[in-house]
Amino acid sequence: MGLAIFCQVSTLAVIQEAVTRLRDAEKRALSLWLDSQTIHELSAEDEQRLLRSLDDALREVEAGKGVQIEDVRKRCAHGLQNNFCAPGHRRS
């Protein structure tokens, strides 16, 4: 067990040293990637809020208040054709 702990600490130290040599943009990218590797647990309150939201959405869909996926795809395609996602585009 002692050797395993030493290897983990040694590896972490090597990684930490390597990170100090990264450019800022690379550090930001690494930070985003590391964050994506973490399992984020919802608080009990957030979980209840999410479940209520999903229940509300399901009731709306069952009541016919939802939007068909084909309509969403058409709207997205239309938006892309009109450069809604173009750099510098301002929403009015």
CB within 8 Å of 89: residues ≥ 6 apart: 83
Q: Is residue 15 part of a domain?
A: yes
Q: Is residue 73 part of a domain?
A: yes
Asked if residue 51 has pLDDT above 90, the reply is yes
pLDDT tens digits, one per residue of 67-88: 888 888 888 887 666 655 544 4
Q: Is residue 9 part of a domain?
A: yes
The reported pLDDT for the residue numbered 4 is 58
The reported pLDDT for the residue numbered 78 is 74
Asked if residue 3 has pLDDT above 50, the reply is yes
CB within 8 Å of 22: residues ≥ 6 apart: 30
Q: Domain containing 81: what range?
A: 54-85
